[in-house]
Structures are given as C-alpha cells and as structure tokens.
Structure 1
Amino acid sequence: MDTDVREPGGSRAAERTDGHTDEEAARHDDAMRAASAFGPVGVIGAGAMGAGIAQVAATAGHAVTLVDVAPGAAAAAVEKVGGALSRLVDKGRMPADHATAVLARITAAQSLRDLPNCGLVIEAVPEDLGLKRGIFAELADLQPSTTVLATNTSSIDIDDIAADVADPERVLGLHFFNPPPVMALVEVVHGERTAPAYVEHAVALVAAWGKTPVRCSSTPGFIVNRVARPFYGEAQRIVESGIADPATVDWILRERGGFPMGPLELTDFIGQDVNLAVGTSVWEQTGRDERYAPTEFQRGLVEAGRLGRKSGRGVYAYAADGSVEGAQPDLELAERLVGGPVATDPLARTLAMLVNEAVDLVARGEASADDVDTAMRLGTRYPKGPIAWGRELGFDRVARWVAELDAAYPGGRYRPSPALTDGSLT
C-alpha cells in the first residue's frame, strides 16, 4: 500500500503495524463483511475484463470461480492475476500474505455447471447478444433464484440480454472500466424489468469493493459511451471538413480544454476499429439518430487498416517506440480558432455538444446529473463533469452555441436539448 496517505486538512492518516492505514483497514473490513454476507462470486469470461473483475472480487474477500469454455483460458487468467498481485507486492501496495490469500480465493473452471451457488455472477464475454443471452438463460436455470445475474456489457440492452430469463428482475449491468482493478467507476445499469432492490444491493456491494457506482437505465451506451460520442465525432468532423489538422485539434482540446488526451490521439490509443464499433452500436440502437452517425473519416481509417497505435498508423503515424511522427500543431491557427465562431472553434463546439448530450440524458430520466458528472470524470478523466461545465458556461450560452451549429449544419445532429433552456438543471 502507499504509505503517504493523508486525511482532509493534510494530517497523516494513522498507520498500523500491518502496513495499512486505519482508513484502509476499515474499508477492507467493510469489504470482507460484504463478501461474507453476499457469498461466492462467479465470473464468466477470462479475458482482460473478466480476469480483472475476478481480481477485484477476490481482493474484496469473495471466493471467486472464473469460468471460460476455452481449454486452459481460465487457468491462464488466474496466473495473470497472480502476476498482477505480485507487482502490487513489489511496489509496496499490498502485503505479500494478502496477495497470497487473494489468489487462493480464485478457482478456474471451464463450465457454468462448475459454479457453486453464488450471490453474484458477472458475465464478461465478447459483445455478442446471442452468446450473452444463451449464457444468462443457462445461468438462470443453474443458479438459485436469489443469485444476482450481471453483465459487463458496455452497450447492449439489459432487457435484450435477459430475454430468455424467467425472472429478469434479477438481471442488471455492472459495467466496469478497463483495467477493473485500477478504474474506480462502475456503471450499475437497470433494465425496465430489473427490480430496484437488486439495483440497490448491487450499488452497495460495488461500493464495499472500493469502487464508485453510478446508476443509469439501459440507454444505448449507458452514460460514458453515450455522452462521450461528441468528443470524438466533433474532432473528426472538424478535420474532415478542413477546418484544422488533427494535431491542432488535439492541442486545443488538451491545452485549452484540460482534457488528458486529444480526441484524435485518444481514438488512436483505443483503436479506431474499437471506437467505431462502439459508436456504430450506439447509432444503431438509437434508430440511426443523426446525432450519433459515424464519420466517413473514421470509416476510411478502419477500411485502410489504419487502426491506431496497434497497427503503427491511424490518424497519426507512429515510430517503433510509439512516438508520433511528423505531427506538429499550428499554434497560430489554434489562436485564431479558439474564441471565434463556434462552428470553427474545436473547444466550444466540443463542449457545446458534450453538455447538450449530458443534459438530454438527464432530462430523459436515464441518470442523475451528479451520476453523469461522476461517470464522465472517473470513466474518461474529463477535467469537469459536463453538467457542472454547462452550469459554469451558462446553459443559455451553450444553447446558443448548439443553435448556431444546428443552423450551420442542419439535419438533426445539432438539435438543442430543450432542457438547456427550461430551467430544470439550474
């Protein structure tokens, strides 16, 4: 554990002889009580997400069974978890005996029938509706009626996944972010048929694991993957239309907006194919709403095999050491664009659409304003939540920006949310 832990006001938190602070020990004890009350946890899928979720649950004190149908996959994932725990020990962030105990709680298995009776089963298999639906139907038959059945899907509708489950009130989403042991955010997603008591139960358990839960309904993309769409889309459209080059757009969003990465370099980091797939999923699930339409710019990159860092070239070209080659921002152009007309100002244009999207989601009752802001700060590391940013800029001002964009680019993408001006968020 890190030893320099400070309480509010700057005083050093009390430390114990076992290397934990009193605050850390209290959190650990809370998690252990929750684990004891909730019982074993099953995790389906031994990829990076499944292995990470298994590590989180085992660290919180649960006996975990990690299942993957591929021979040896679950055992290999347990070994990887062991390596991750060893690195934490080497860095002084976990006592060695704690790491040994965590790893001992994880068991590898190859069949859903190998699961014990669990308090919770979390599915983390590839984003294939048919695959997920079949797993949940089988789990519903094999597990007690009291078992919470959760999916780690990032975008598929919860009710669609639960379609073949006789008691869909116990099916919900627990969307972890990658890597699960590090990322604090978990979206707790309810379908129309999910019982509120199960949602509250899941929220309490996730909090006991030391994560930050946010509640949302099963809207396409949930909170983060829906609200973030304009961050990528506006940058792509600005480059596509010749307003500015990628390096200049990224510089503006980083240096003037405070975002940790520019939107174009971020899609290269994520993978253009991955980012396009998520965006396309949201677009399809919203009835091909123009607001979420993928760009020809990004489609062209994917078709050309320019997938980003992993392929050596995406928006940018990358050297063998991963550094960007030959991309310098035009600072004079950046100075002219920022503060100018919103249609050609990458920062104002992006902020207007982020705020507009977030306000719309809250107005539809799909998540609270506080949960939207928390999700975007923790899930994407935005410097401010979009609702808070809207309040700071002034919702009337944002409404004018979006109206200007709608006039400049008619067709529906830039339609202003009525909630920007109806006073509901002031």
Structure 2
Amino acid sequence: MDTDVTEPDRPRRDPADDEDEGSPFGPVGVVGAGAMGAGIAQVAATAGHAVTLVDAAAGAAAAAVERIGASLSRLVEKGRLSADDATAVRRRITPAEALDELPHCGLVIEAVPEDLDLKRRIFAELADLQPPTTVLATNTSSIDIDDIAHEVTDPERVLGLHFFNPPPVMKLVEVVHGERTARAFVEHAAALMAAWGKTPVRCSSTPGFIVNRVARPFYGEAQRIVESGIADAATVDWILREKGGFPMGPLELTDFIGQDVNLAVGTSVWEQTGRDERYAPTAFQRSLVEAGRLGRKSGRGVYTYAADGSVDDSVDGSEPDVELAERLVGGPVATDPLARTLAMLVNEAVDLVARGEASADDVDTAMRLGTRYPKGPIEWGREIGFDVVARQVAELDDAYPGGRYRPSPALTDGSLR
C-alpha cells in the first residue's frame, strides 16, 4: 500500500484533542447520524474511542448526539451505567457536518442510506482524506463491498461491518470482505469488534451476507403456505413459535419489520443472485405492500393492529387453528410449515457453507444472534439428519418444480458431518 498521506485543504483536528487521556484506542469516524449511525457511535464511544459523528444535513449529527445522551441517561436510570461513565461516553462523541472534519482515524464506518452512488462518493472521499492504514467500513446490509469500493484506489482496506439494530444491544456484527479486501484488515476489524464486546462472524460479500441470505426461506415458505391455502397466517405463526421455538412467527415478524422493508431486502437478494427462483418475492407480500398494508407501522399488514400495537383479536384470522396445526405438523413436508421451513433453512445454510462464503460455526452463530433462532441451521441439519433434509427438499422440488426447491449437493456429500 502507498504510505504517503495527502493532507486536505482544510486543517484537521488533532485526534489527541478528542481522545480521553490514557485511552488505548484510536479515533473512530461514523458517517451518517440516523438510528444505526448513532447507535454505532455510542458503541464505539462506550468502548473508549474518541468518535466523530458526521452527517451532511445541518444539525443532524448534533441532534443525534443529544439522542445518544438521552439513551445513556436511561441506562443510568436503569442502573446499567454509572453517571460518570455516561458523562465520559457522551464527551467522547463530537458532531460534524463534513468528512474533512474527521481526524485521522483507525476506523471509519459509513452508515448512510442504501444508495450505491452515495456510498461510492463517500468512500472515494474518505480514501483521499484518511491515511492508507485507516479501515474503511460500510454498514450496508445488502450492497456488494467491491461495488462500494469501486472508486477507492486502495480497495484492500474496504470491508463491511454490518451491525444489527439496535447496535448498543445486538451482539452480532457481520465482518464482510470483498474480493479485494486484504485479510489483515478483516482480522483487525474482527478483533476490534470483539474488543467492543460484539460477536464478529466473517463472510464474503455474497448477496444478503449470512443473515439476510439464510433467513429468506423463513419468510418465503410461510407466505407461500398462506398463499396456497394450506393454513392461515395465525396458524403458521403458531406452529413456528410453539412447535419450532422461534421467538416470533414469520408473518408477524414481517409485520414487525415492515412488509416494505422485508420485501426490499428480499428483492435485493433476488436481483443480486440473477433472479434465482429460490429468492423470488411472493405475490402475497407484493400485494400487501401495494395495498399499503406495511405492518404495525401502518396499522395493518398480515394482521390488523390496535392503537397500542397489539394484534386486534376482533378481526377474523387473528386466532390460530390449533387443531389444524396439530394435523399439519408431522405430515407430508409440503404441508408441514415447520418441517418445510427447517428443511429450506438448512438447505440454504449448507449451500452457503459449501460455496466457502462462511464457516458452519459462523453461520450458526449469526442466525442465533442476528435472528434469535433457537438453533443454528447447520446444528438443526445435524439433528434432523442431512440425508433426511435432502429427501424433504427433493419432495418439495417434485411438488413445486421450477428451481426454488433444488437440494444442495452438500446435503449428501458428507462435507458437513
């Protein structure tokens, strides 16, 4: 790497002016002062870094710092943080409105909206402003790392640090490398996330990374089961919760996330995989979004919601048919919501590992922490039996030909036993 650093026209602040005396950490920059950016800034400051939070919108970064202060105060009220520590964390965060106000940082994390052109412009500017030893990270959940690094002259230092919302609470961080990312930067970033108290998992820049890729069948199978009339939404959700141990059913979860948000992520994975039938969005979800039934935030999605956000039990279809559920579970895989969902989750996870995009352990860790699944899909596959899963997926492929249910060869090649 080139070790020369070109100084910008505007003078920089001395990082020592921002850093707490005795801090073993270098400064961190966070670009984007929305919920994710502010949360990441709080995490970094809590870990001891001097943090500069940048947002081009006038006053946005300063307002975010005030929100962080309020969040810290709530932690103090709950006894989770001392008042002195909260004050110290708050003082470590400085708002700014331009990238050239950043000091020389050990790490800069971009957390702006999912707009490739915007991200490219930011990374090109950061590459000119920051030393070549600075790790340049994106919090993207769906955009290819190499595409973001397209205008960067030294793309080996560009990687993904995909935090989960809310960053101060969620332990998982996907450390994502592009084809041109240097291994040393990946290892450094993963070690830093561990020092921040997070659990890093490594993966390549595959569409959806680990969590958003492997989770697609959890939503898609439920939508197809309801769409085909096998069972209603409440019954499917009941089966996945009560029989599968998932904290939320897939249909209530998409209402919680937002049908539009979930559809956008699924569509992005579908597009990035060349419109692979395995990830095709359902007409069921498209119709919800087109009708403005976005879930809790709009008052109606799969379910109808009362003013307090709870499901309105007076609306037909909000109660599960437990008798039907008991008949379906343990029956043919095509009509068993639990077996069908688990088979497809295992199939997807096995495929990802077989392609070398992440390790089996990292896949299981990511799905447990990122989605709160009771077990990782590889662990589930070993428990069910990969040969059993292979037969189940083959049955689904026979029942619904077209490519969605093609079994992964890795289910039967013995590589994951």
Superposition TM-score tier, normalisation by shorter sequence: over 0.9
For residues 341-395 of structure 1, give each alpha carbon's deviation from its aligned partner in whole angstroms, at most 9, with x where no partner exists: 0000000000000000000000000000000000000000000000000000000
Match of residue 43 from structure 1: 30
Match of residue 178 from structure 2: 191
2:233 aligned to which of 225, 242, 246:
246
Match of residue 405 from structure 2: 414
Matched, 1:343 2:340: no
2:378 counterpart SS class: helix
Separation (CA, whole Å) in 1 of partners of 2:323 and 2:82: 53
Separation (CA, whole Å) in 2 of partners of 1:377 and 1:336: 28
Report the CA distance between 1:321 and its aligned residue.
Answer: 1.5
1:163 counterpart SS class: helix
8 Å CA contact retained: 2:146, 2:180? yes
2:382 counterpart SS class: helix
Separation (CA, whole Å) in 1 of partners of 2:274 and 2:393: 22
Separation (CA, whole Å) in 2 of partners of 1:388 and 1:405: 22
Matched, 1:219 2:206: yes
1:367 aligned to which of 358, 364, 374:
358
1:214 counterpart SS class: strand
Separation (CA, whole Å) in 2 of partners of 1:290 and 1:410: 10
Separation (CA, whole Å) in 2 of partners of 1:375 and 1:146: 28
Match of residue 379 from structure 2: 388
Amino acid at match of 1:236: Q
Separation (CA, whole Å) in 2 of partners of 1:199 and 1:411: 38
1:177 aligned to which of 158, 164, 184:
164
Match of residue 65 from structure 1: 52
Could you list the runs of 4 or more consecutive aligned residues of structure 1 that deviate by over 2 angstroms after TM superposition? 35-38
Amino acid at match of 2:79: G
Separation (CA, whole Å) in 2 of partners of 1:189 and 1:129: 17
Report the CA distance between 1:322 and its aligned residue.
Answer: 1.3
Report the CA distance between 1:122 and its aligned residue.
Answer: 0.1
Separation (CA, whole Å) in 1 of partners of 2:46 and 2:213: 31
Amino acid at match of 1:288: R
1:117 aligned to which of 92, 101, 104:
104
The TM-score, its normalising length taken from structure 1, stands at 0.92
2:201 counterpart SS class: strand
Report the CA distance between 1:323 and its aligned residue.
Answer: 1.4
For residues 62-99 of structure 1, give each alpha carbon's deviation from its aligned partner in whole angstroms, at most 9, with x where no partner exists: 00000000011000000000001001100110111000
2:365 counterpart SS class: helix
1:150 aligned to which of 137, 158, 167:
137
The TM-score, its normalising length taken from structure 2, stands at 0.94
Separation (CA, whole Å) in 2 of partners of 1:88 and 1:38: 23
Amino acid at match of 1:292: Y
Amino acid at match of 2:263: L
For residues 110-134 of structure 1, give each alpha carbon's deviation from its aligned partner in whole angstroms, at most 9, with x where no partner exists: 0001100000000000001000011
Matched, 1:128 2:119: no
Separation (CA, whole Å) in 2 of partners of 1:118 and 1:37: 13
Tell me the C-alpha RMSD between the 2 structures.
Answer: 1.1
For residues 15-34 of structure 1, give each alpha carbon's deviation from its aligned partner in whole angstroms, at most 9, with x where no partner exists: xxxxxxxxxxxxxxxxx99x
Separation (CA, whole Å) in 2 of partners of 1:219 and 1:404: 28
Amino acid at match of 1:227: V
Identify unmatched segments of 5+ residues in structure 1.
Answer: 1-31
Separation (CA, whole Å) in 2 of partners of 1:176 and 1:314: 27
Separation (CA, whole Å) in 2 of partners of 1:157 and 1:381: 25
Separation (CA, whole Å) in 2 of partners of 1:107 and 1:322: 36
For residues 135-188 of structure 1, give each alpha carbon's deviation from its aligned partner in whole angstroms, at most 9, with x where no partner exists: 000000011111100000001000000000000000000000000000000000
Matched, 1:329 2:320: yes
Separation (CA, whole Å) in 2 of partners of 1:240 and 1:280: 18
Separation (CA, whole Å) in 2 of partners of 1:341 and 1:211: 41
Matched, 1:274 2:261: yes
Amino acid at match of 2:326: E
2:222 aligned to which of 211, 235, 258:
235
Identify unmatched segments of 5+ residues in structure 2.
Answer: 1-18
What is the aligned-residue identity percentage? Answer: 87
Separation (CA, whole Å) in 2 of partners of 1:131 and 1:102: 30
Distance 1:36 1:167, change over 3 A: farther
